[in-house]
Structure 1
């Protein structure tokens, strides 16, 4: 009767739907718990959706580690080009299990495979090997890269390394220890300058100081019998966004339980499988990096006395970060460049190529999980990796624009977007916001106080904690971690959950979803918004209090003096690097008149473009010209890269002399000169009509190529295939 009454029917419709959603949501939690139990019982749990083949088990290395190298077996509909350089994806070991870089086909691995590149993956087991250190892992990863390089000697370039979050700084350390191994290095959502940020945002950087330093990490490791539980790292991430952790994530599944269950379960299968780290590993991370911020300062020294210096990396470095990332904001991803260099001239003198790409909104995990990001940014990285590898030293921003029917030369665009590398200066990085000298002193004070507190803990409390801790007590406290209990409690191990599966199946077979215009559904959504708003108000107030406390406490001149910082303290963190190199100016000038047809053409091309960055259409036009040459005359990509970099160096040294010397290395054959001139114009006009400055410089080059007294001819409009 009440059900058919138009006044009461909306309530009963909503009530039935709410009960059904509650049971279905409970069933989702049951499945999540079962996934957790299954993953916990596996020797090598992961969430990769691709078939794989184990190549190297890190446990068999001279210094065993719990890492492994696998080959990704391409899906049946994917064709791999053996001549293309391989991609290696390194997964982050930051509390969660492996597989995030390939948990779906629209992923870093998926887009690289579709671009025809062989793909490999470096993951890890849940438990570390006894005595394993971060340095051991870096050396193991260097071995993995060498194995892949040896397997692909015929490829057109060295392996591309992709490191997500924690894996990013780890491969940067590895690359500085073995700088000749790899090709381009892509670090996504990776913090390298750990104190960096702007006030009013990103409060996680204050956490170490507010906890009194890193002594708590030692305490948790000691309670774990020398092993740190990654579940604490997961809890730390979750505490950063209480609205999402305590309400939004769960409510989104409850509200859309008919469609969101699979996506939620796929993610939670990764998120809910925490791994373990040795005490020495986590202590290195917090002491040397998060609180100590020693990586960019060059203060990390390996066991054999070698300094880990990011200046040593000669492979192009691609930094992918986002304004929406509150775990690794752009400042923490990019300010290491400011830590290492005073200006772009220093980057160039050191021979480094640094490229960054800024997303406007995606969150931390979305940088390497989002299918939309994979289909845009990561796909464009894969399509344009040869252009990135060939860029002369400098600082560039990768900018993507939509390609449409009005795009000039669409045949030279591989994907849906046009990739452009635009020259930048350090002022562009500074404009994103950075610490002033006073804030740097505050973080330095926090780092020194951390050392004091750690010393007090290790002297007074650690012996007692170790004496009362046993392997059994360590395992018990890990199993009782709230994150693990929350997953396990809803699994089939709990007898209370026994009837849920059957009831849920019955509901799915006879579902009664409420209509979108139901007023009680509107009230539910309004209540949800109210809860989210209040949790966000709480988080904002908490973050403001954290910042004010940190700034006030560590800004105290008395505390700074107590830990040994002088009032007139100047930042001596930077390791001064000699950028002079081995070559003298005289040796470089001697190269002005050395070379041949290709060197002259590349020098002329770079002069016309004059440091304006690059457009993928220009590089693809150059590639088309290279590939159209007879095979016995074709220049390998590595050789082309060397020529591009060398000629760019000569132009920077003395542009006038470098340009004037071009006729000295040109062939005498007028027809070859004409073809080269046509090829140069083909490249500079690949992105549309040349700009006035480019056109003027091209006319300068035309006069050099045609020689004095030659009759000026129009540049023929020919395709790359016609220009031999």
Structure 2
């Protein structure tokens, strides 16, 4: 390009704008070429770690397109064979696999950095003909068994991380095989699909406004028995018109000199839609998105076993965010209130549930944000054994930076202090959600969906299936806008190769505009206006969608026509009673009543610790670090395993809940010898001191233990309640 001298602001701006336009087109060309090469790979993924294939699900008795790989640790990473393995399961919700390990700072990355062996469950772009959701759950159980068998010396069962859609899959698997997994981390996973808040979360209304899942069936038939994941990606993109239509492409155009690598990295994952069996997607849409049958126990496995999430014995960690418009906190957490009416029921079921609420991160950021990986996911990886030891109940994980005045900082790993605070169902309900009338609306929408699906299958489906050929179905997939926009700018388009040469010339003579150029300021103002206008359009659309849904499915006439209108206030939907479970719990309580005087010094120390700490309503990693230190001080032949420690802690907690006064008075019977009592008290004081100053009630309880075990003058105990 000839030297034009010192241009005036108009020349300077238009030269820059033209150059940015060429570079923008070249980045789109690169994106198209990358997508073409990526999708041509036998097993495309975006993992930044080396995978080693262990199991191919296509070889199973019930074949699926899933596989288990071992993540080969980077050369500078040291893996501790005694640490429990991590298994990251990515969502098959339109996009390809690898999002959980796309960056060094990722779910896989932080697990490796913490010294854990790491595995990944991914999938191929094409499904195995006839595979079902049940087959996938069965395959995931095989994967977990295989990983556990590879680590017989690990201190605990494998940790499962389920991202988005993968989360409900592993929850179903864990409900059917509760003996297999260790702690389960659900990242952005919806489990209560109707839940949300009016004025927000419009995606939950979509199925009802469209008339149900007959469109899912039509899409599967038009695909020749294949459901195109590009439909799901388009669904996600439609939620944020401003970002999809303008902000994302303009951000690339405005920062094309620096933004291209980040853009291309993300688009490699975003631009590789996968395929699902039409039957798989129909099952998901009917039973989950519209039917909401998982948390209410209405689903059954292939052998007719009810899928009851109360069966899960492993700790369940829920990571959700207020900034997530795809899986809002209500959809991530309201399954708990679907399962349980009272806090005591969680304890009776033996479940440990932990949740944490991010204030702003979006849905994808839960999986890919480096800041989230190094904070929330990093802390979960570091403190997973602590979570596994927690007694049954509901907790919130609170992660804060270590303050200068924090006590015993040497017991904290990293920059953050991980703390679990006791919560109740009232805390979940306080987040907002549906009332019974709203649930009735969604139930009405589900009935309408069943009717419309039946009509479609009877009247239209035979003709559609007879018309669509495999070649026509494949052509329709290639013409999907979410694929076409990649291919149209690749070198397959004869107009694009010249752009590459022109872009090289532009880079050699690049003349960026000055930041204070008035026309650049005008461009940015116009961009802001366009974004605001598109955001307003999206908001208006969402308001109309919500109004149409609430009005249509709130109609008493429509509710009556589908058999739901009774004229009475409907009861909230909740899972039904399980008499076998209740009988098992009754037997456990009866057995518990005989165990107050059973045990020795370890049981006494743990019972005393739980008793002293109960009024604090929290636990943090400092106490756990001290517990592990005391445990490792014991000779190997007397050291209590992690699994046994968990059993003891749970039993002592339940004894204190059952009859606190009797449990405390029985302590001297567990440690008859003076030397044992001194050892128990020494360990107790170290554990209590680890987390800082006790409350006044905690101090009084500690003093009582010291008196009971013979180091203080006895005094009449103050009356205490069992749930203090």
TM-score tier after normalising by the smaller chain length: over 0.9
Match in the other structure for 1:420: 419
Match in the other structure for 1:519: 518
State the shift of 1:36 in Å: 1.1
Which range moved further: 611-620 or 72-81? Answer: 611-620
Measured in 1, the distance between the counterparts of 2:396 and 2:672 equals 37
Asked if the contact 2:207–2:290 (Cα under 8 Å) also holds between the matched residues in 1, the reply is yes
Superposition RMSD in Å? 1.5
Match in the other structure for 2:528: 529
Match in the other structure for 1:624: 629
Measured in 2, the distance between the counterparts of 1:708 and 1:282 equals 67
SS at match of 1:196: coil
* Equivalent position to 1:649, from 626, 634, 654: 654
1:567 maps onto 2:572 in alignment: no
SS at match of 1:386: helix
**Correspondence 1:658-669 to 2 at 5 A:** 658-668=663-673
Asked if the contact 1:346–1:579 (Cα under 8 Å) also holds between the matched residues in 2, the reply is no
SS at match of 1:623: helix
Deviation digits for residues 25-70 of structure 1 (CA, Å, limit 9, x no counterpart)? 1111011101111122111100000011000000011111000000
1:466 maps onto 2:472 in alignment: no
Asked if the contact 2:31–2:267 (Cα under 8 Å) also holds between the matched residues in 1, the reply is yes
**Correspondence 1:127-206 to 2 at 5 A:** 127-206=126-205
Measured in 1, the distance between the counterparts of 2:515 and 2:409 equals 44
SS at match of 2:116: coil
Measured in 1, the distance between the counterparts of 2:535 and 2:524 equals 16
State the shift of 1:629 in Å: 1.5
State the shift of 1:4 in Å: 5.8
Match in the other structure for 2:66: 67
Question: Relative to structure 1, is the Cα distance of residues 502 and 607 closer, same or farther in structure 2, using a 3 angstrom cutoff?
Answer: same
Measured in 1, the distance between the counterparts of 2:107 and 2:422 equals 26
Normalised to the residue count of structure 1, the TM-score between the two structures is 0.96
Asked if the contact 1:3–1:9 (Cα under 8 Å) also holds between the matched residues in 2, the reply is no
Deviation digits for residues 519-560 of structure 1 (CA, Å, limit 9, x no counterpart)? 111111101000000001101111000001100000000000
Match in the other structure for 1:721: none
1:699 maps onto 2:703 in alignment: yes
SS at match of 2:193: coil
Measured in 2, the distance between the counterparts of 1:444 and 1:694 equals 48
State the shift of 1:333 in Å: 0.2
State the shift of 1:341 in Å: 0.2
SS at match of 1:225: coil
State the shift of 1:672 in Å: 3.2
Measured in 2, the distance between the counterparts of 1:40 and 1:160 equals 30
Deviation digits for residues 390-441 of structure 1 (CA, Å, limit 9, x no counterpart)? 0000000000111133221111101211010000000000000010011010
1:690 maps onto 2:694 in alignment: yes
**Correspondence 1:227-376 to 2 at 5 A:** 227-376=226-375
State the shift of 1:586 in Å: 4.0
Asked if the contact 1:2–1:9 (Cα under 8 Å) also holds between the matched residues in 2, the reply is no
State the shift of 1:570 in Å: 3.1
Match in the other structure for 2:13: 14
SS at match of 2:587: coil
Deviation digits for residues 309-342 of structure 1 (CA, Å, limit 9, x no counterpart)? 1011010000000000000000000000000000
Measured in 2, the distance between the counterparts of 1:358 and 1:571 equals 25
Measured in 1, the distance between the counterparts of 2:443 and 2:90 equals 31
Deviation digits for residues 665-706 of structure 1 (CA, Å, limit 9, x no counterpart)? 1140x2332232122121122122222111111101111122
Measured in 2, the distance between the counterparts of 1:694 and 1:178 equals 39
**Correspondence 1:56-95 to 2 at 5 A:** 56-95=55-94
State the shift of 1:639 in Å: 0.8
Asked if the contact 1:230–1:274 (Cα under 8 Å) also holds between the matched residues in 2, the reply is yes
* Equivalent position to 2:592, from 588, 597, 613: 588
Match in the other structure for 1:717: none
Report the count of equivalent residues: 708
Measured in 2, the distance between the counterparts of 1:523 and 1:665 equals 79
SS at match of 2:592: helix
Question: Relative to structure 1, is the Cα distance of residues 144 and 2 closer, same or farther in structure 2, using a 3 angstrom cutoff?
Answer: closer
Match in the other structure for 1:715: none
Asked if the contact 1:383–1:415 (Cα under 8 Å) also holds between the matched residues in 2, the reply is no
Measured in 2, the distance between the counterparts of 1:37 and 1:234 equals 18
Measured in 2, the distance between the counterparts of 1:251 and 1:526 equals 12
**Correspondence 1:552-563 to 2 at 5 A:** 552-563=551-562
Which range moved further: 696-705 or 234-243? Answer: 696-705
Question: Relative to structure 1, is the Cα distance of residues 704 and 329 closer, same or farther in structure 2, using a 3 angstrom cutoff?
Answer: same
**Correspondence 1:377-416 to 2 at 5 A:** 377-416=376-415
- The gaps in structure 1 that reach 5 residues or longer are 712-724
Measured in 1, the distance between the counterparts of 2:574 and 2:668 equals 48
Measured in 1, the distance between the counterparts of 2:623 and 2:714 equals 28
Measured in 1, the distance between the counterparts of 2:590 and 2:27 equals 72
Normalised to the residue count of structure 2, the TM-score between the two structures is 0.96
SS at match of 1:685: helix
Measured in 1, the distance between the counterparts of 2:558 and 2:571 equals 17
State the shift of 1:484 in Å: 0.5
Deviation digits for residues 253-282 of structure 1 (CA, Å, limit 9, x no counterpart)? 111111111111111000110000001100
Question: Relative to structure 1, is the Cα distance of residues 538 and 528 closer, same or farther in structure 2, using a 3 angstrom cutoff?
Answer: same
Measured in 2, the distance between the counterparts of 1:506 and 1:70 equals 44
